[in-house]
């Protein structure tokens, strides 16, 4: 149990010496208990990657109870269902098949699963042909100039994963192609990207599963209008030469005006936040080449094979999921800090925020009843070397249990001498300090209680294989926790509610009538916006 009564209530005006002494003694006891648990070596070395759970401070008895719980809930059978493409998205009655996107043909899979593997493989053949032609300079814009700028327009799962991987593999990027991302409906996002590109040499990838996502389509329409104005050409020509569609609704992309040969399909059995392995990853392939995209899939496939076959006691995603759930349920964890000590992984916290919170941020179980325990926690973070000068203070001396995942890279590229060793020293020091703390009997304001749990993940290199391995581990962690909590990790009805209400509010905000009733508070906000805009006009 994390300390909650170490210090007296905040309304105590003066700390008596006896109170200080009592608080310090409690901290010393907790620190000793943490050190005892910390002596247990819990690490797994797989595919040259270290997953070290030692600083999760979990005792042998607690560990054994977690494994027993996993067995009793039928986790082994659930993993088999995932492997074989079972209907695990119950509310939408959909199969969950993102692992098919990176699987190789194998007669051990059921026939229908093999069919989906073949479908994904055929799309990758089409992707390779397009990427090779683009890299060779054979794809031209409407005025005959070679395409050199790629702008991916997409939001959520159509943006976060591809953006993360493109950043992570930046040192491998193709020298003559620049890839940018636009996600925000705030016009400034698109506007700033357009300032950096040449319209004659720019191609837009419109990435939307339904091809109706309002943020994405609004930005796509704006991009089309910008090209029409800049090139003084008809929209039909613009769409044929400067737009690519990535969607599960190919007919809608074609109706929008995109060439069917430049429309790349994925399917309704691919959830958005699990989709970077599909055609949604086309901007990754464009940025670094199709060979490295295949390496990314190979890394994810290696983690799939481990997850599907390793015993529960030594199964990396199983332990990530079980220990994470234990921290939430038993240790009252208030959040999960993601601290990559690697600039290339700077977008990992945002990616995992969607993956974990959109997947498992549920309070109703698969039986339609309130969940029996707390589920997902708040996921946040930043590059570790920046975070330790900001929110880490709360981790060390705050009053909440907030575990941390530290992610580091072993390889030293020697870009600048000594930098990588400094980075690793800080990473390991933070994990140790959070676990064990330090007591200052005469200066209690300096005392750090310890007992803050963490996992340390060390990738051998920041390459496509390692990134794929890492992201697949987190995907499977989510699945494990959803199974334990008996929730559906593959729907997002809360997101759908917000979209629906925005659809009702928009006409009112624009001064039109709405068929739906808008609540009083929202009406007041709209009137306030209209008042401000009117005042700005009259200046």
Q: What whole-number distance in Å separates Cα of residue 431 and Cα of residue 314?
A: 22
Ramachandran region of residue 414, left (φ > 0), alpha (ψ -120 to 50) or beta?
left
Residues that are catalytic: 358, 389, 499
The pLDDT, as a whole number, for residue 19 is 45
Q: What whole-number distance in Å separates Cα of residue 231 and Cα of residue 233?
A: 5
The pLDDT, as a whole number, for residue 503 is 87
The pLDDT, as a whole number, for residue 282 is 98
* 3-state percent helix, strand, coil for the chain, nearest multiple of 5: 55, 10, 35
C-alpha distances (whole Å) from 219 to each of 8, 189, 205, 339 are 54, 9, 11, 32
In a 13 Å sphere around the CA of 113, the CA atoms on its Cβ side amount to 22
C-alpha distances (whole Å) from 124 to each of 84, 119, 130, 174, 269 are 21, 9, 10, 19, 17
Residue 205's φ and ψ, nearest 5 degrees, are -100, 115
Q: Exposure of 179 by Cβ count < 10 A (0-12 exposed, 13-18 middle, 19+ buried)?
A: buried
The alpha carbon of 243 is separated from its chain's Cα centroid by a whole number of angstroms, namely: 26
In a 13 Å sphere around the CA of 366, the CA atoms on its Cβ side amount to 17
- Tokens representing 505 are 């509010």
The alpha carbon of 50 is separated from its chain's Cα centroid by a whole number of angstroms, namely: 20
- The domains found in the chain, sorted by start residue, are 40-73+310-491 (3.40.50.10490), 99-295 (3.40.50.10490), 496-538 (no CATH)
C-alpha distances (whole Å) from 203 to each of 55, 131, 174, 223, 293 are 47, 13, 16, 10, 20
The pLDDT, as a whole number, for residue 311 is 97
The pLDDT, as a whole number, for residue 33 is 53
Which residue, chain included where needed, has tokens 């700005």?
536
The pLDDT, as a whole number, for residue 434 is 97
Kindly give the confidence (pLDDT) of every residue in the chain, 539 residues in length, as a single tens digit, with 9 standing for 90 and above: 333 333 333 343 343 444 445 444 544 454 455 455 555 679 999 999 999 999 999 999 999 999 999 999 999 999 999 999 999 999 999 999 999 999 988 767 888 889 999 999 999 999 999 999 999 999 999 999 999 999 999 999 999 999 999 999 999 999 999 999 999 999 999 999 999 999 999 999 999 999 999 999 999 999 999 999 999 999 999 999 999 999 999 999 999 999 999 999 999 999 999 999 999 999 999 999 999 999 999 999 999 999 999 999 999 999 999 999 999 999 999 999 999 999 999 999 999 999 999 999 999 999 999 999 999 999 999 999 999 999 999 999 999 999 999 999 999 999 999 999 999 999 999 999 999 999 999 999 999 999 999 999 999 999 999 999 999 999 999 999 999 999 999 999 998 898 889 989 999 998 887 777 889 999 999 999 999 998 999 88
Q: Which helix (H) or strand (E) holds 434?
A: helix 419-436
The pLDDT, as a whole number, for residue 499 is 86
Q: Which residues contact 144 (CB under 8 A, 6 or more apart)?
A: none
C-alpha distances (whole Å) from 399 to each of 5, 10, 16, 18, 420 are 9, 12, 20, 20, 32
Closest of 214, 243, 196 to residue 155, by C-alpha: 214
The pLDDT, as a whole number, for residue 1 is 30
Closest of 478, 169, 497, 266 to residue 352, by C-alpha: 478
The pLDDT, as a whole number, for residue 32 is 53
Q: What whole-number distance in Å separates Cα of residue 455 and Cα of residue 458?
A: 10
pTM for this entry: 0.91
The pLDDT, as a whole number, for residue 109 is 82
Bridge partners of residue 457, in order along the sequence: 51, 407
Whether the Cβ atoms of residue 150 and residue 283 lie closer than 8 Å to each other? yes
The alpha carbon of 281 is separated from its chain's Cα centroid by a whole number of angstroms, namely: 14
Q: Which helix (H) or strand (E) holds 337?
A: strand 335-340
């Amino acid at each position: 149990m994390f300390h909650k009564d170490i210090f007296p209530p905040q309304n105590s005006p003066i700390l008596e010496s006896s109170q200080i002494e009592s608080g310090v003694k409690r901290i010393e006891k907790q620190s000793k208990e943490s050190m005892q648990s910390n002596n247990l070596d819990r690490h797994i070395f797989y595919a040259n990657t270290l997953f070290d759970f030692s600083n999760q401070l979990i005792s042998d008895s607690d560990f054994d109870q977690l494994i027993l719980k996993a067995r009793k809930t039928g986790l082994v059978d659930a993993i088999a269902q995932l492997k074989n493409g079972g209907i695990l998205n119950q509310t939408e009655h959909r199969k969950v098949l993102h692992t098919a996107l990176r699987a190789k043909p194998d007669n051990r899979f059921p026939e229908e699963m093999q069919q989906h593997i073949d479908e994904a493989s055929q799309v990758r053949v089409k992707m390779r042909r397009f990427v090779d032609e683009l890299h060779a300079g054979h794809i031209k814009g409407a005025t005959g100039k070679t395409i050199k700028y790629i702008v991916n327009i997409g939001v959520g799962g159509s943006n976060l994963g591809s953006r993360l991987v493109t950043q992570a593999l930046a040192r491998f990027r193709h020298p003559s192609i620049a890839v940018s991302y636009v996600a925000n409906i705030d016009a400034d996002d698109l506007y700033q990207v357009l300032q950096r590109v040449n319209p004659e040499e720019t191609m837009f990838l419109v990435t939307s599963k339904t091809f109706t996502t309002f943020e994405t389509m609004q930005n796509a329409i704006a991009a089309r209008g910008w090209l029409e104005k800049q090139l003084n050409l008809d929209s039909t020509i613009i769409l044929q030469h400067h737009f690519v569609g990535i969607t599960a609704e190919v007919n809608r992309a074609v109706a929008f005006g995109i060439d069917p040969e430049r429309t790349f399909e994925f399917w309704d059995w691919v959830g958005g936040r699990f989709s970077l392995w599909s055609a949604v990853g086309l901007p990754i392939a464009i940025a670094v080449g199709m060979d490295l995209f295949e390496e990314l899939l190979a890394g994810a496939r290696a983690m799939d094979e481990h997850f599907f076959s390793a015993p529960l006691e030594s199964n990396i995603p199983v332990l990530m999921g079980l220990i994470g759930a234990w921290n939430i349920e038993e240790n009252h964890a208030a959040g999960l800090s993601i601290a990559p000590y690697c600039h290339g992984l700077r977008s990992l916290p945002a990616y995992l925020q969607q993956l974990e919170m959109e997947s498992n941020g549920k309070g109703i179980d698969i039986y339609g009843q309130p969940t029996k325990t707390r589920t997902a926690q708040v996921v946040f973070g930043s590059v570790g070397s920046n975070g330790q000068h900001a929110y880490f203070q709360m981790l060390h001396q705050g009053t909440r249990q907030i575990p941390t995942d530290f992610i580091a890279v072993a390889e030293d590229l020697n870009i600048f001498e000594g930098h990588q060793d400094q980075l690793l020293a800080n990473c390991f020091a933070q994990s140790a300090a959070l676990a064990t703390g330090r007591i200052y009997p005469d200066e209690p304001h300096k005392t750090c209680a310890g007992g803050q749990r963490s996992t340390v993940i060390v990738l051998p290199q920041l390459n496509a294989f390692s990134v794929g391995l890492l992201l697949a581990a987190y995907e499977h962690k989510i699945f494990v926790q959803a199974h334990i909590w008996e929730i559906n990790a593959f729907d997002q009805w809360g997101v759908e509610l917000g979209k629906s209400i925005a659809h009702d509010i928009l006409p009112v905000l624009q001064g039109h009538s709405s068929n739906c009733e808008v609540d009083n508070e929202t009406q007041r906000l709209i009137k306030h916006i209209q008042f401000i805009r009117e005042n700005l006009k009259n200046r």
